[in-house]
């Protein structure tokens, strides 16, 4: 049979490490296997945790039996939800006049979760701002590189992680952006709970980063994936975004906002993208929304309805909002306690090296400092799964497995170089 030539010019691309690792974990039949790879919240029994407040909202919505619940929304998304998402992110305070002036700077659209918000923002900037370069932290969430590559924007990295001290490399970041970033470049910033390191700038450092962006005319692009989930406080986790917004009103910026972690809506793909104009350019806000809708229409037409309806239901009820804040405390507190438990076990075992960074880091992930060889040994010998970079999802730890994981880490640190 004669072969018909294809017109495609394709080559294999590497599989996504996180999803490949998760697949290997599920295929593993070892009774003591532990998943520290995928970034999802788990209970101390290692099971998913639909937030109790989300279950309450779902029951109320089912009782209401809204006939419109499966209908199309607008291209920009569910407009009441977008106002709620905006207010949650930017935390407006002060008099009504001040609030209206501030809100007039923000163009918001609904997206397919945080990934979709990052993608839409990158695509929008590549079309309409044409940044010469986007600066990503080294390391960063691996998908950031893919998103900006597909948007066609040249990518460079700024130092973020100091391996020897296992700390945030603030001086390296500032020096690189000061010396090498050019006017019009975009800078990707993690709003809180930096993925994968779990290391965030302190408030004084955030202020210095904002000053540098303003002075060098750089464009801040915030990725906010963990608001309320990291510290348990939505205000604390939005501090950097709100500082830039309130204190640099002549600087434009944007925010990709996810509701996957803080509402446990991983599969509902709920997110928003906010473009912030400077205070003298509020007249273009509606044009920005119009152009974002043009991209949305050609790609997915409109955001999913179910997840945003749940968020809207919760955040328009004082009772449910209070319940949500309590659920945030439950999740953030458990992760903090697992950090402490892992650290305490490693200290008890006298595991070589320093492990203080585990409790000094923040949010779901820890950059453990383990080498790729040690990571592979953990998987092959102990069936403990984490990324080859040494990034561990602390949510996968529990009172039942933390001693086992600690013993495994102690073994590979002592015996695998």
Please tell me the total count of domains within the chain.
2
Q: Are 259 and 376 part of one and the same domain?
A: no
Same domain, yes or no: 230 and 348: no
Do 213 and 290 have their domain in common?
A: yes
Task: For CA atoms 142, 148, 149, 155, give the dihedral sign.
Answer: negative
Specify the CATH number for the domain of residue 310. 3.40.640.10
Same domain, 40 and 118: no
Question: Do 84 and 152 fall into the same domain?
Answer: yes
pLDDT of residue 111: 98
Residue 330, CA distances (Å) to 208, 229, 264, 402 in order: 33, 9, 12, 19
Among 263, 289, 316, residue at a domain's last position: 316
pLDDT tens digits, residue range 110-160?
999 999 999 999 999 999 999 999 999 999 999 999 999 999 999 999 999
Residues 240, 345 within the same domain: no
165 and 278 housed in the same domain: yes
**Domain containing residue 36:** 17-49+331-415
Domain membership of residue 61 (yes or no) is: no
Of the residues 141, 148, 206, 324, which is catalytic? 141
State pLDDT tens for residues 61-119.
Answer: 999 999 999 999 999 999 999 999 999 999 976 556 568 889 999 999 999 999 999 99
pLDDT on residue 162 = 92
Given this model, what pLDDT does residue 97 score? Answer: 58
What's the confidence (pLDDT) of residue 13? 87
Is the same domain home to 91 and 184?
yes
Q: Do the domain assignments include residue 202?
A: yes
Q: What is the pLDDT of residue 416?
A: 87
Specify whether 248 is located in the same domain as 341. Answer: no
Same structural domain, 40 and 184: no
Q: What CATH number is attached to the domain comprising 365?
A: 3.90.1150.10
Cβ-proximal residues to 342 (8 Å cutoff; 6+ apart), any chain = 355, 358, 366, 394, 397, 402, 405, 406
**Residue 70 is assigned to a structural domain of this protein:** no
Residue 6 falls inside a structural domain:
no
In a shared domain, residues 272 and 385: no
**10 falls within a domain:** no
141 as an active site residue: the answer is yes
**Residue 350: predicted pLDDT:** 97
Give the residue ranges of the chain where pLDDT is below 70: 1, 93-98
The single residue of 169, 185, 200, 223 carrying the catalytic annotation is 223
The answer to whether 261 is a known catalytic residue is yes
pLDDT at 69: 92
Alpha helices in 217-279 (DSSP H): 234-237, 239-247, 260-263
User: With contact defined as beta carbons under 8 Å apart, do 147 and 350 qualify?
Assistant: no
Active site residue 223: yes
Same domain, 45 and 190: no
Q: Distance of alpha carbon 40 from its chain centroid, rounded?
A: 11
Task: Classify residue 272: in a domain, yes or no.
Answer: yes
Task: Say how far apart CA 265 and CA 46 lie, in whole Å.
Answer: 17
Q: Is residue 59 domain-resident?
A: no
**71: in domain:** no
């Amino acid at each position: 049979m004669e072969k018909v030539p294809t017109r495609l010019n394709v080559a294999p691309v590497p599989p996504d490490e996180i999803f490949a690792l998760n697949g290997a974990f599920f295929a593993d039949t070892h009774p003591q296997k532990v998943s520290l790879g995928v970034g999802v919240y788990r209970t101390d029994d290692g099971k998913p945790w639909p937030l109790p407040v989300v279950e309450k909202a779902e029951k109320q919505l089912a009782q209401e039996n809204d006939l419109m619940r499966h209908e199309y929304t607008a291209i920009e998304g569910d407009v009441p939800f977008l106002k709620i998402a905006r207010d949650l992110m930017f935390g407006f305070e002060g008099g009504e006049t001040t609030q209206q002036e501030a809100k007039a700077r923000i163009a918001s659209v609904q997206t397919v979760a945080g990934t979709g918000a990052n993608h839409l923002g990158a695509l929008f900037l590549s079309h309409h701002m044409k940044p010469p370069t986007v600066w990503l932290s080294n390391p960063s969430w691996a998908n950031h590189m893919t998103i900006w590559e597909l948007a066609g924007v040249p990518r460079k990295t700024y130092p973020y992680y100091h391996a020897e001290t296992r700390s945030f490399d603030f001086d390296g970041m500032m020096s690189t952006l000061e010396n090498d970033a050019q006017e019009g470049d975009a800078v990707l910033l993690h709003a809180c709970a930096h993925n994968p390191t779990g290391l965030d700038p302190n408030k004084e450092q955030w202020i210095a980063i904002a000053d540098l962006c303003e002075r060098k005319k750089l464009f801040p692009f915030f990725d906010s994936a963990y608001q309320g989930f990291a510290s348990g406080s939505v205000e604390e986790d939005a501090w950097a975004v709100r500082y830039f917004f309130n204190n640099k009103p002549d600087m434009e910026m944007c925010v990709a906002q996810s509701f996957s972690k803080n509402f446990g809506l991983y599969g509902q793909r709920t997110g928003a993208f906010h473009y912030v104009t400077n205070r003298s350019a509020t007249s273009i806000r509606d044009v920005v929304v119009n152009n974002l809708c043009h991209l949305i229409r050609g790609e997915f037409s409109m955001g999913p309805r179910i997840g945003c309806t749940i968020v809207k239901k919760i955040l328009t009820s004082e009772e449910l909002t209070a319940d949500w804040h309590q659920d945030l405390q439950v999740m953030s507190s458990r992760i903090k306690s697992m950090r402490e438990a892992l650290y305490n076990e490693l200290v008890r075992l006298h595991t070589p090296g320093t492990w203080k960074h585990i409790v000094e880091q923040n949010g779901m992930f820890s950059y453990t400092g383990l080498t790729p060889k040690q990571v592979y040994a953990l998987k092959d010998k102990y069936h403990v799964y984490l990324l080859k970079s040494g990034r561990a999802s602390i949510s996968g730890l529990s009172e039942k497995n933390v001693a086992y994981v600690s013993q495994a880490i102690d073994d590979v640190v002592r015996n695998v170089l």
